Structure 1
Amino acid sequence: MTASTDTAVRARAEEHLRALVGRPDTTLYDDQWAAIAALVVERRRALVVQRTGWGKSAVYFVATLLLREQGAGPTVIISPLLALMRNQITAAERAGIRAVTVNSTNVEQWDEVQSAIRAGDVDVLLVSPERLNNPGFRDEVLPRLAATCGLLVVDEAHCISDWGHDFRPDYRRIRTLLDELPTGIPVLATTATANQRVTDDVAEQLGGDALVLRGSLDRESLRLGVVRLTTAEQRLAWLADHLSEQPGSGIVYCLTVAQTQEVADYLRSRGHQVAAYSGQTEQTERLALEQALVDGEVKALIATSALGMGFDASLGFVVNLGAPNSPVAYYQQVGRAGRGTDLPPEGASVVLLPATEDRDIWAYFASLAFPREDVVRQTLAVLAEEGRTMSTAALEPRVDLSRNRLETMLKVLDVDGAVRRVKGGWELDPHGGDSWEYDQDRYRRVAEARETEQRAMLEYLGSAECRMRFLRRQLDDPEVLADPSWSCGRCDNCGGLALPVEVSEQAVEAAADRLARPGVPIEPRKLWPTGLSAIGIDLTGRIKPPAGEGRAIARLTDLGHGAALRGLFAVDAEDGPVPVPLARAMVAMLQDWQPKIEAIVVCESERKPKLTADLADGLSRFLQVPVVGRWAVVDLSVGPDRGATNSAQRVSAVTRRCALQLDQPDAVRDRRVLLVDDRVVTGWSLTLGAAALHDAGAEAVLPLTLAVSG
C-alpha cells in the first residue's frame, strides 16, 4: 500500500470517527489507526488491550464502515452482555451503521434479522456467546455467517481464556469458529482487563501472526480508596451517611443478588433514591433502570457484576460493598466510573468497603469450579447408558451437581468434543466421548491462579502503595513495569483522596436493626416481558395496576432466617405446617409492616399444599380477615417449574396452569387483598395472580410469602 493511499484511507477513517462520536475535531490515536489498518488494509487478526473508555469500539465500527465501502459482508460482533449490545447499537446508529442483535431475549425477531442479513440490509450483527452453541444457530446460521462476514469481533476477549477473571464456557466455542473462518476475513479481539498470561493465551488462539496492541491502563479520572470497617452494620451505615456526598450518580456493587436487594431496601429507608439490579432483574426493567442511571434519576443502582462490561454512562462514583476476588475483576468494575466529560474537576470517586465474609463468598464461587473427574465420568456414563438425547433436567437427578453447574460442565465438555448439544438436550459425541481426557493439571493451575489473585486482592486492601499502580501492576501494564516508581497522585495512599471513616451511631443502630429483624420487600414487577405477542399472549408494556410492595420473612440466601427457610424448602423436606420459629418471625414481620388488608387469597401449591394452607389459615386468625379464594392450580399437566428460566415462557405456563377461584363473585371487589404464597421464585405467579385479582375488582393486592429465592 502506498503512502498516499494510506493517508487517504486514514482520512476516510477519521471522517467516520467524527460521525461516530459527533465531534468535528476528533482524530484517531496511533494505535487505533494501527488496528484499523491491520484489519482493513492487511486483512489480518489483531488483539487490542486498552483501558475502558479508550475507544476500542470505535476501531471496529470504523473498520466496519471502511470494509462495507469495499463490498465486504457484515461485521459479526460476539458480545457477552446485553447492556453492552444495547450501548453498541446506539453508538453504531450515530454513524449510520445498521446494527441488529440475536440473543436470548429477542427470539421472536430472529427470522426477521436473518432475512435482513440475507438482503444485505445489516452492517453489524451482535451475537451473544450462548448463541454459538445453540444447535439451530450453530448448525444452520453460523456457517453462513462465518463464510460471508466481513469482520469478526470478539469483545471482552479475556472471556475466551480460562485464565481470565470472567472466563465463560460458551466463549470457548469461538476458537472453533476462528479455525473455520475462510482465509482473508480479519478478526479483532478487544479487552480492557487482560494480564500478560491472558493476553498471550488469547493471542495464541487468534493465531501466531496476530498484531497485539497493549496500551497504558491508567484511568486519570479515577480516585481510588479503601475504607475498612469492622461490621456489616458499620458498612451499611457508612454508605447511608456518605452516599449523598459522592459526585453525580453511580453504582454500588455487591457480591450477591440478595445483598443488592437488602442494601437497596435499607438505603431507600434512609431516604436515598436507589434501586436493585442483578442478573435476575427482568430484561425490560433492566433497560428502564439503566436509563434512569444514565439520566441521573437515581443516585445509584445497587448491583451485582451483571451491570458491568460495556455499560457506557457518565458515572461519578463506584462503591464496592465487599471486595471482588481479584484485582483484575476489581479494575473492570471500577472502570464503569469516570468515563464522561461532565465530571467534577477532581474526577470520579472509587471506594472499596471490604468485609470479613468476602472470603467465604470467594470460597463459595471457587467451589463452582470445574467438577471432579469422577463426577464428569458419571455424567458421560449416564449419557452412554441411555444412548439418547437427554435434557439437563433429565440428567440432573442422576448427577451430583446443581442444575447451573451441570449446564456449565456440559458446555465445557461440548467444546472439548466429549458431548454435543443438540435440539432437546445433550448426547454423547460418538467420536470424542471415549477418548476425552480430564485435564487435571490445567484445572489445578487455574485454581492456583485464582488463589494467587485472591491473595493479591487481600494485599490491595492493606497496601500503602499507590492504588492505581497496584492494579496496573496486576494487569502487567508495560508502563508501570518499566517505571515501578510511578504513582497516580489521586488515591488515598497518594494523598489525593481523603475518605471519612466515621459513621453516626444512629445510622449504625438503624442498620443493625434492619439486619436483625425479619422482613424483606417483595418488589412488584412493573413491566410485562417482551415478545409475549409472539406466543399468543396480549400483554405488553407496563403492568397496570401493579401489585403493591409485599413482604417475605427472608431470602433463602440470608444468614438469619435463611437457614431455617432453606431447610423448609429442601428437596427432601416433608410438607407440613409452618414451623413455630418461622411463625413467630412472620408475626414480628407483620407487626412491623402492618399491612391494611380486608381479605386473603392463597396461592395453591402442588409441592407444599399443607404449608401454604396452614400459612393462610394462621394469617387469617392473626389478622382477623377471611380467606376468600385461591389462585388455584387448574392444569396439572403444566409443571410447577415450567418456563422458570424464561420470563415470557413462565408467563405462558402460569397463565395455563393457574386460575382465580373466589368463594363469591364479589369477594374481593373494592377490597385490599393479601395474596399469600410459600415463596417467590420468578415472581410471575404472584404477578399474574395480582392481575387476576385486580380484574376481579380488588382495590389493592399485597403479596406475602415465607421466602424469596436468591
Structure 2
Amino acid sequence: MQDQALSLLRKMIGRDAKFHQGQWEAIESVIRGNKTLLVQRTGWGKSVVYFIGAKLLRERGFGPTIIISPLLSLMRNQIENAVKIGISAETINSDNTDEWTEIEDKLKRKDVDILLLSPERLGNKDFTERVLPSIEGGIGMLVVDEAHCISDWGHDFRPDYRRIVRIIKQLPPNVPLIATTATANQRVVNDIKAQLGDELHIIRGPLTRESLQLQVIKLADQAERLAWLYENINKIEGAGIIYCLTISDCNKVAKWLRSKGINALEYHAELSKDTKEKRRLREERERKLLNNEVKALVATVALGMGFDKPDLGFVIHYQRPGSIVRYYQEIGRAGRALDKAYAILLNGVEDDDIEEYFIQTAFPTPKEMNEIVNVIEKASLGMTKNKILKELNMSYGRVEKCLKTLEIEGIIYKEKSSYFRSPISWLPDSTKSNAITKLRLNELEDMRKFIDTEECYMRYISTKLDDAHLKNCGKCHNCLGTQFFSEVVSRDNVLEAIQFLKGEYLDIEPRKQWPAGIKAESAKKIAIEEQSLAGKALCAYGDAGWGRVVAEDKYRNEYFTDELVDASLVLLKNTLLKENLGWVTSVPSLRRPLLVKDFAMRLAEKIGLPYIDAIKKIEDTPYQKKMENSYQQCSNALHGFSVIERVPESPVLLVDDIIDSGWTLTVCGILLKGKGSGHVYPFVLAKASGLEGGE
C-alpha cells in the first residue's frame, strides 16, 4: 500500500518525490478509518495526504471524499495536482450555482471522487437533507481543511464550521476523518479534540520554515512604505505577495507600483460587483502569479489559506497583522520549494487602530444577540432580516453574524425568509466573548513585541504556536545580524509618494435604491430624476496625504484651511467643473454651523460660482455616523433636512466634509431636485474608510 501511495505522489509532484516525515503515517491512519488531526507547517503538503488517501479509499470501493474548506477558490492549483492521479474533483459554492444540477447528477452516477464545499453550504437545508444523503455509497472520507476555524479560540474562527461537528456525529464510525491546520496552538488543538472526539489521532510536526529569511522594518508612515516598496521590490528574485489590511490599501499600493513601472495587481473580494467577472479576474490574477507574469499581487487575506505556489519568492506585509498565527499563515505562502525566500514585515502608525477595530467587531456581543432574540421572540409571525434592521440600530454585518451564531446554536430557526424563536432556553453570556476578545488583544500585544524582539524571529513564532521542536532558524535578520534590505528610504521617493497619496481622489457612487422599509417593504429604486450623479472625494479620511489634514482641521482646528480649498480646486478643475455647474451649496450642521459652510463659500469664490444657502437643518438628529444600517441612516437623514422654496435650475455642486453611508448627500440631492435644481454633483473632503478588511 505504501508503494502504491508513493507512486501516486510521484505522479502528482514528480518522479523523484518522497514523502515528508509524517505524510505516510497520516495516509495510513486514514486508510485504517481513524479520525486524524494534522498540525504541520505551511507548505508541508497536507493536501497530498487527503488527495492520495481519497484515491486509495476510492479504489477500495469507498464513496467520494467531502472536503470542507473556507477558501475553495484558492485550491484550484492543488486540484490540478489531484487530476494527475485520476481524481475527479468538483466544487459546490456560491460562485458556480449554474453547475449545481450537473454536479448532483455526477454524484448520483458515482462520477465524483472528491466534492469540495464551503462551510456555509452545510447551512443549506436542501443540501444537507437532500444532496448529501443522495450520494451513492455514502461519504467515503470527510476532510476538514483549516480545522482551526472550528475553534473560537482559533485566529480565524468561522461559525459555519460548527455545523461540521453535527455532520461528523452523524457519520458511521468506520468513515475516516482528517482535519488539517498549520496554525493551532495547544489551546486550539484541545478545543478541536473536544469537538471532534477524544479518539482523535494527532500528528504534529515542527513548524519552523527553514527557507524563510525574516526581517522587520519600521517606517513612519505610508509614504515611506510606498517608497520602500519601489526601491526594494525589484531587488528580490521571483514573484510574490504584498499583504495589506484593507481593500483600499491594496488598490493604492498596486496603483503606486504600476505608476513606477512595476507590474503589480490588486487582489481582494471586491475586484468587480459582477460575480462572474470577479471570479474571472481572481482566477486570471492567480494564474499570472503562478506563471510569474506579475511581480506581485497586492492582496488582503483573500489570497491566504489554500494558495500554493512553491516558488513564491517573497511575502511583504505592508501593515502588521493582528496575530503571530496569522502572520505565520501568510508568510508560509513563500519559499515552499526554494532554498531562500524573504518575509519582510513593514509596519506603521495605523496598524494597531485597524487591528483593534477588527478585534472589537469580530464577535457578536451578548447585548446584540439579546436584542435580536428579543425582537424575534415578540414577533409571532417571525422577523425577516429587513424588519430586524428597521427595528434595531445595528449594522447589516452585525445582524448577519448574530443570526448565523444564534441559528447554529439552535436558539432561532429559519423558515423561508423569516426567523423564529426556538423553544431552547438561552441567556446572554459575556464571559466567553470577553475572554476571546482579551485573547485577541493579547495576540496583538505579542505581535507588537515581535517587532522589537532581539531573539530569532522564527523561534519567537514557534514558541507562540506551542511548537515542541524549538530552535533558532539561523537565517533571519536577528540570527545573522545583517540587514537583507535597507531600512532607509530616499527623501525624493518619499516626497513623490506623498504627492501620489494626495492625488488619490475617490469616486462617490450615487445611491440608487431606497432601503427596505422606507418606501416599501423591500428595497425600492430611487427614481432616475431624483438621483444625484457621481461625485468626488478629495481623499480617504485619516489617510496619508490629505486624509490627516482633514481629520486635524475638523476636530482640532475646527477650520478647513485654504490649502484644502486649493487642493479641492485642483481636483474639481479636472473633473466636476467640466459639468457646467451653476452654483454651490453645502450640507448644514447645527453642531458646527460654520465649518462646512465657510469652506464651501471659499471654494465657490475660488471657482467663481455663487454660493446659495439652500439646505436647512430642521431637526437636531443623532450623529449620522452613529446610525448603523441603511434604513437607520436614510431615515435619520430624511428627518433632518429641508430645502428653500426656490433654487436655481442649473447643476449644483453639493459640498460636505465627510461621507460615510452616503445617505445625507442622497437625501439632500433628492430634496434639491424636488425644488427644481439641475443635476446634483456631490463633493466631499474625505470618504470614511469603513475599515473594509477581511477579504
TM-score clears 0.5: yes
Q: What is the match of residue 333 of structure 1?
A: 330
Q: What is the match of residue 284 of structure 2?
A: 288
Which whole-Å CA distance do the structure 1 matches of 2:168 and 2:375 have between them? 32
2:265 is matched with which residue: 269, 275, 282? 275
Pick closer, same or farther for the CA change 1:586–1:392 going to 2, 3 Å: farther
Which whole-Å CA distance do the structure 2 matches of 1:378 and 1:45 have between them? 40
Percent identical: 40
- For 1:493, what is the secondary structure of its paired residue? helix
Partners of 1:79 and 1:128 within 8 A in 2: yes
Shift of 1:708: 9.4
1:36 is matched with which residue: 20, 24, 27? 27
Shift of 1:582: 8.9
1:311 is matched with which residue: 296, 307, 312? 307
Q: Establish whether residue 124 from structure 1 lines up as the match of residue 117 from structure 2.
A: no
**1:249-285 Cα distance to aligned partner (Å, 9 max, x none):** 1111111111111222222222221111112224321
**1:424-466 Cα distance to aligned partner (Å, 9 max, x none):** 253322x32xx12333222222122112211111110000000
Which whole-Å CA distance do the structure 1 matches of 2:448 and 2:134 have between them? 48
Pick closer, same or farther for the CA change 1:144–1:589 going to 2, 3 Å: same
Task: Map residues 202-601 of structure 1 onto 2, 5 A cutoff.
Answer: 202-282=192-272, 283=278, 284-313=280-309, 314-340=311-337, 343=338, 347-429=340-422, 431-432=423-424, 435-480=425-470, 486-495=471-480, 498-517=484-503, 519-520=505-506, 553-555=538-540, 558=543, 586-591=568-573, 594=574
Task: Map residues 620-631 of structure 1 onto 2, 5 A cutoff.
Answer: none
- For 1:16, what is the secondary structure of its paired residue? helix
**1:85-125 Cα distance to aligned partner (Å, 9 max, x none):** 32332222122110000011111111111111011000000
**1:263-313 Cα distance to aligned partner (Å, 9 max, x none):** 222222222211111122243211111111112221111111111001111
Partners of 2:122 and 2:163 within 8 A in 1: yes
Shift of 1:408: 1.4
**1:142-176 Cα distance to aligned partner (Å, 9 max, x none):** 44459811000000111111111111111111111
Shift of 1:387: 2.6
Partners of 1:326 and 1:456 within 8 A in 2: yes
Which whole-Å CA distance do the structure 2 matches of 1:565 and 1:502 have between them? 28
Partners of 2:72 and 2:117 within 8 A in 1: no
Pick closer, same or farther for the CA change 1:497–1:509 going to 2, 3 Å: closer
Pick closer, same or farther for the CA change 1:450–1:393 going to 2, 3 Å: same
- For 1:291, what is the secondary structure of its paired residue? helix
Partners of 2:364 and 2:401 within 8 A in 1: no
Which whole-Å CA distance do the structure 1 matches of 2:62 and 2:542 have between them? 51
What is the TM-score with the length of structure 1 in the denominator?
0.73
Letter in 2 for 1:424: S
- For 1:553, what is the secondary structure of its paired residue? strand
Q: What is the match of residue 18 of structure 1?
A: 10
Which whole-Å CA distance do the structure 1 matches of 2:323 and 2:384 have between them? 34
Letter in 2 for 1:515: L
Shift of 1:559: 7.1
Q: What is the match of residue 153 of structure 2?
A: 163
Pick closer, same or farther for the CA change 1:586–1:598 going to 2, 3 Å: closer
Pick closer, same or farther for the CA change 1:597–1:291 going to 2, 3 Å: farther
Partners of 1:265 and 1:521 within 8 A in 2: no
Shift of 1:33: 1.5
Which whole-Å CA distance do the structure 1 matches of 2:299 and 2:186 have between them? 29
- For 1:301, what is the secondary structure of its paired residue? strand
Which whole-Å CA distance do the structure 2 matches of 1:520 and 1:73 have between them? 53
Pick closer, same or farther for the CA change 1:590–1:95 going to 2, 3 Å: farther
Q: What is the match of residue 628 of structure 1?
A: none
Which whole-Å CA distance do the structure 2 matches of 1:29 and 1:233 have between them? 43
CA RMSD of aligned residues (A): 3.8
Partners of 1:45 and 1:211 within 8 A in 2: yes
Which whole-Å CA distance do the structure 2 matches of 1:158 and 1:81 have between them? 14
- For 1:184, what is the secondary structure of its paired residue? coil
Which whole-Å CA distance do the structure 2 matches of 1:211 and 1:509 have between them? 57
Pick closer, same or farther for the CA change 1:105–1:704 going to 2, 3 Å: farther
Pick closer, same or farther for the CA change 1:27–1:268 going to 2, 3 Å: closer
Partners of 1:392 and 1:425 within 8 A in 2: yes
Which whole-Å CA distance do the structure 1 matches of 2:145 and 2:25 have between them? 18
- Number of residues of Structure 1 aligned to a counterpart in Structure 2: 570
Partners of 1:46 and 1:212 within 8 A in 2: yes
Which whole-Å CA distance do the structure 2 matches of 1:565 and 1:148 have between them? 61
Which whole-Å CA distance do the structure 1 matches of 2:185 and 2:80 have between them? 30
Pick closer, same or farther for the CA change 1:74–1:497 going to 2, 3 Å: farther
Pick closer, same or farther for the CA change 1:339–1:515 going to 2, 3 Å: same
Shift of 1:500: 0.7
- For 2:242, what is the secondary structure of its paired residue? strand
Stretches of structure 2 lacking an aligned partner (at least 5 in a row): 273-277, 510-534, 552-561, 582-599, 610-657, 663-680
Pick closer, same or farther for the CA change 1:31–1:515 going to 2, 3 Å: same
- For 2:61, what is the secondary structure of its paired residue? coil
1:105 is matched with which residue: 92, 95, 101? 95
Pick closer, same or farther for the CA change 1:233–1:142 going to 2, 3 Å: same
Which whole-Å CA distance do the structure 1 matches of 2:19 and 2:94 have between them? 35
Pick closer, same or farther for the CA change 1:223–1:497 going to 2, 3 Å: farther
Which whole-Å CA distance do the structure 1 matches of 2:459 and 2:153 have between them? 22
Which whole-Å CA distance do the structure 1 matches of 2:462 and 2:682 have between them? 48
Shift of 1:362: 1.5
Which whole-Å CA distance do the structure 1 matches of 2:395 and 2:264 have between them? 33
Shift of 1:401: 2.2
Shift of 1:501: 1.1
Pick closer, same or farther for the CA change 1:516–1:168 going to 2, 3 Å: same
Letter in 1 for 2:294: V
